[in-house]
Amino acid sequence: MARVVVRPYGQIVLLLLIIGFFGAIGVTYLAGGAFAERDWFTVILGVVFVPASLFGMWRTVRLGATLDVEGIHIRGQIDSRDEYLPWSAVASIECAVIDYRLVAAIHGPVLIGPDGTPAAVIPALGSYSRRRAERRTEQLRAIRAAAVDG
C-alpha cells in the first residue's frame, strides 16, 4: 500500500488567508518606518506577528492524516501535538460528534482502540456536514482495510 495523505483543503485555504493577513500586518508594521520613528510598540508587534504567522502557516499546510502500512500519523490543529497510532491500536473507525463550535456540532472520524474506547480523534478531518464526515470516515476505513489485509 502506498502512503495516503488526507487533508482538509478548504480549512487549509481559509486558515492560510487569515494567518497570512496577520503576517502582512506584521510586515507592514516593520516596513512602515517604525524603526526610524522609534515606535517600539509597533516594532514589537511586527516582530511577534511575522514569526507567529510563519509558524502558523507551516502548521496549517501540514494539517490532516497520513496513512501507510504501519499506521496513521495525525497532524492536528495548530495548537496540538502530532499523534501516531499503529494499525494494531485501531480496532475500528467510527464517525461521531468530535466537537461543538458556536451552536453546531462537528462530526469526524474517531479511531476506536481494541478495548472499545476512543484511541484518537482526527479534528482536521471534521466537518459541520455529517455526510462529508461519513465520506471521509469511509475513506479511512477503506485505507485501513487495505493496510491491514495487504
Which letter does DSSP use for residue 32 in this model? T
Task: Label residue 145 by pLDDT band (50, 70, 90).
Answer: confident
109-142: pLDDT as tens digits: 999 999 989 888 888 788 889 999 999 899 888 8
Domain-wise residue ranges, the chain: 86-149
Q: Is the pLDDT of residue 79 over 80?
A: no
36-77: pLDDT as tens digits: 788 888 889 889 999 999 999 999 998 888 888 888 888 876
Question: Are the C-beta atoms of 111 and 93 separated by less than 8 Å?
Answer: yes
Averaged pLDDT, 86-103: 89
CB atoms within 10 A of CB 115: 7
d(CA 30, CA 112): 48
Task: Please give the model's pTM, rounded to 2 decimal places.
Answer: 0.75
Residue 105: what pLDDT? 93
Question: Are the C-beta atoms of 136 and 125 separated by less than 8 Å?
Answer: yes
